[in-house]
Structure 1
């Protein structure tokens, strides 16, 4: 009789432990993420485009193709690329809730979700960002980002 009770409790205990491991991404996940940025022009991958990635917590610079470590956020990641004077692009990539969602809801009754929204730890951007460049029109000139430095 006693062993039947222990056997019934074991699956519940295992489920609780698994849920606890997924709770509060601020404690279990990093607030940083590495992303690969690649650029495409006329259906071909091109190298050497200068890109500025920015969200509400920071700004990063990269030459494509390349990897960069960024800070996660609930807000979109803006990617602005330029290939010399030949091509330009500006895109936004939305972050998505990562696997910590259910642990936050079940174990912390939503408190962990609020904390993760503020730190960005509960959200991920796509690991690969492909930016489609568009040929620059004659006379079109890109202005540097406000307060930024032009990167070559």
Structure 2
């Protein structure tokens, strides 16, 4: 029911909240990795596995994050409309899952972004890895 890719806005900030565009970022999941620049909206391959993000900038310490993959409404709809076979196909292709659509990494920190915390028109709130359950 969903495309194999999704859009994600990827931004980087300093600890004091200043946006820094143009950091070299690598996004990685079980479908491979891609190099992108922060400050852009990128295309991310959907997967049931979490997305790891690492950003480097010459004037700042590295920023790292994990974007949690969550089942989307398409999976439930596919079960209702197409039955279990459609859900299995979407699961295997990764199209049954969605990452957060807007993340803001902070230089010098390792963060977790969970789509269940997403609110329309806002960056997904970050948490520290030890805060996630």
Same fold (TM over 0.5): yes
2:87 aligned with 1:103: no
Higher helix share: 1
Higher strand share: 2
Is the Cα contact below 8 Å between 2:71 and 2:98 reproduced in 1? yes
TM score, norm. by length of structure 1:
0.65
**Partner residue of 1:82 out of 38, 56, 73:** 56
Cα offset, 1:85, TM superposition: 5.4
Root-mean-square deviation (CA), in Å? 1.6
Q: CA separation in 2, counterparts of 1:103 and 1:52?
A: 32
- Residue in structure 1 matched with residue 5 of structure 2 by the alignment: 32
Larger radius of gyration: 1
Long gaps (5+) in structure 2: 110-133
TM score, norm. by length of structure 2:
0.73
Long gaps (5+) in structure 1: 1-24, 136-152
Aligned residues: 108
Q: Secondary structure at the match of 1:39?
A: strand
- Residue in structure 2 matched with residue 119 of structure 1 by the alignment: 93
